[in-house]
Structure 1
Amino acid sequence: MMMKPILLQGHERSIMQIKYNREGDLLFTRLGTYMGHSGAVWSDNSCRLWDCETGKQLALLQTNSAVRTRGFDFGGNIIMFSTDKQMGYQCFVSFFDLRDPSQIDNNELYMKIPCNNSKITSAVWGPLGECIIAGHEGRELNQYSGKSGEVLVNVKEHSWQINDIQLSRDMTMFVTASKDNTAKLFDSKTLEDQKTFRTEHLVNSAALSPNYDHVVLGGGQEAMDFEARFFHLTFEEEFGRIKGHLRPINSIAFHPNGKSYNSGGEGGYVHIHYFTHSTLNLSLRLKKLGSPSGPGELSGPGLTKFWTLRNK
């Protein structure tokens, strides 16, 4: 089966993260065209708030070390970001309320969570903004209260650093990607390990389909294994691969409507793949059979920016 991607070229260096907006008509890629940062977007010791329509910088929040993760809560009123453990400073998760202009103007956060053991490498808001789910360099997974900052749940299911965390559409589950060559499915409330998806190489990113029981993994190492790999969510078995990248995949995401996915990596290109009916029916046939029979192969061709996708 052929899946020829749409290629977006706008970067001269590696793409570290890609993300859709909630409606799915804008695709953001970093690093970027938003001028203002004096280094790589996360490495100039600042967190910045931007107007997506004009590219205008709305706020500048200074930090003591590089900013690693960031995100808006469910209502879009509170921002959180984590900083690296470096230059004598420990890792913190900081919180600002955009409804209080004095916090932004004076760079005065209303809550800070210290992370003494190891730095946060990936973090997302949990359901309804009640908690933060954070993966650490030291392999642990923590759930922090969004109100008090206390650790609600702590688990260590991975054996190495957690690279990525992405929630399901209903936010009841999330998938992690790790340097231990696996991706895992967790319950968002209890952090119970539900499923494990195993590969032979590093997993840099993983995403859950909003429509089907699919998990897509991206990663690889230099000179080998750059395919996006699809697993069945229930059976934990691989049923397809999509080629195209010439270097490791760093970030991967499903479109909110579930009809396509995109990936970005070391090569500087964004690959957008639209699923064909035969591709989607493959998973349905496997489900009726009771278990995938093994991996197939879906072949294809070999700054912060945002891309409009309204015409697709």
Structure 2
Amino acid sequence: MDKRKVAVPLVCHGHSRPVVDLFYSPITPDGFFLISASKDSSPMLRNGETGDWIGTFEGHKGAVWSCCLDSNALRAASASADFSAKVWDALTGDQLHSFEHKHIVRACAFSEDTHMLLTGGLEKILRIFDLNKPDAPPREIDKSPGSIRTATWLHSDQTILSSCTDLGGARLWDVRSGKIIQTLETKSSVTSADVSQDGRYITTADGSTVKFWDANHFGLVKTYTMPCTVESASLEPKYGDKFIAGGEDMWVRIFDFHTGEEIGCNKGHHGPVHCVRFSPGGESYASGSEDGTIRIWQTGPVMVEENESSGVNGANGKIKVAVNEATRKVEGFHISKDGKAEEKTETSADM
């Protein structure tokens, strides 16, 4: 009986509930980093290359729906069902700010210049917080036609892209006027909206469709029908020649950007895939699932026999974490349940 060759990912354990959002930092002098949001209320920071656990941000009292890092990977932000968005020191794990809302917060994003934080959620209001004046009232853009599911910046912080939980389409807002300047029309609600690293394309996932839009002229460039309902899609950042998509069938599929042909299918998750993202260099990509795990897949062919065990990298402290040179400069951190910061160590291996 022939053994089949299968792709083996790095499996990152630690979350106790579904992983609903992933975000890679740009490449920094210390490497690049991956932050994950989960319904377990505790976002986690990892080495983006190895998946090694660095620390857990503790303080939310509800599911965390969205997370992000600023361009220097020095601060993290998270949006939660506890009606707050929080900003964290990504080196120590300390909470820097907590911005209270009147309903569930579903989306958060740092501006490119790192000075502002954008939030959105069930209040149907986009808020812009000035991180240099965190005590000042935020600017509000309150004419979203529905509950906000995703929100991000583009055009050097001059434009906001948002989508709604209960309506199709993605809306582009002029930051200065606070008005919608364009709507990218889709039949189903947009569950994932991602701006490519070079700023050329907007990638959206809606229903069983992945679409690519011109990020400057807003025209539809390509649309592809997927084999199942997909929740997230991401374009390869370096060459732009392939994209990934994940959804309800628990598989992470790779497609040719130019033709839409499926060129790979990674199996391993035990629940629907809620989020997929390429690393900033395109050499790997991560997927987060209902099963509570993050899997990091190599873009190139890394195959083993099907009956061999896959690697396990990273944990919430219950499994040993190996910390390589890229993360040695980042202090391990963990905030205890009573809100007090535990003693910080040089690495996270002891946490």
TM-score of the superposition, structure 1-length normalised?
0.82
The match for 1:98 is 131
Distance 1:276 1:140, change over 3 A: closer
* Aligned partner of 1:161 among 178, 189, 197: 189
2:32 paired with 1:25? yes
CA contact (8 A) 1:25 1:309 kept: no
Distance of 1:51 and 1:310 partners within structure 2? 20
2:237 paired with 1:210? yes
SS in 2 for 1:44: coil
CA contact (8 A) 1:5 1:301 kept: no
Distance 1:278 1:5, change over 3 A: closer
Moved over 2 A (4+): 275-279, 298-302, 307-312
TM superposition shift of 1:252: 0.6
Kindly report the root-mean-square deviation, in angstroms, between the aligned alpha carbons of the 2 structures.
Answer: 2.3
1:114 maps to a residue whose letter is D
Distance of 2:158 and 2:36 partners within structure 1? 27
CA contact (8 A) 1:3 1:276 kept: no
The match for 2:63 is 40
Per-residue CA distance 1:94-123 (angstroms, 9 max, x = gap): 011222x2xx224x11x2111342122112
CA contact (8 A) 1:16 1:265 kept: yes
TM superposition shift of 1:244: 0.9
Distance of 2:267 and 2:301 partners within structure 1? 19
2:192 maps to a residue whose letter is D
CA contact (8 A) 2:141 2:178 kept: yes
The match for 1:286 is none
Any stretches of 5+ residues in structure 1 without a counterpart? 86-90, 280-297
Any stretches of 5+ residues in structure 2 without a counterpart? 43-55, 65-79, 311-315, 328-351
CA contact (8 A) 1:243 1:301 kept: no
2:161 paired with 1:133? yes
2:296 maps to a residue whose letter is I
> Identity of aligned pairs, percent?
27
SS in 2 for 1:191: coil
TM superposition shift of 1:185: 0.4
Higher helix share: 1
TM superposition shift of 1:309: 7.2
The match for 1:291 is none
TM superposition shift of 1:17: 0.7
2:238 maps to a residue whose letter is N
Distance 1:240 1:198, change over 3 A: same
CA contact (8 A) 1:197 1:237 kept: no
Distance 1:231 1:30, change over 3 A: same
Distance of 1:205 and 1:6 partners within structure 2? 20
TM superposition shift of 1:301: 6.8
Counterparts of residues 89-238 of structure 1 (less than 5 Å): 91-99=124-132, 101=133, 104-106=134-136, 108-109=137-138, 111-137=139-165, 138-156=167-185, 158-178=186-206, 180-212=207-239, 213-220=241-248, 225-238=249-262
Distance 1:310 1:175, change over 3 A: farther
* Aligned partner of 2:279 among 235, 251, 255: 255
Q: How many residues were matched structurally?
A: 275
TM-score of the superposition, structure 2-length normalised?
0.73
TM superposition shift of 1:310: 5.6
The match for 1:16 is 20
CA contact (8 A) 1:127 1:172 kept: no
SS in 1 for 2:126: strand
Distance of 1:66 and 1:243 partners within structure 2? 33
TM superposition shift of 1:278: 8.0
2:247 maps to a residue whose letter is G
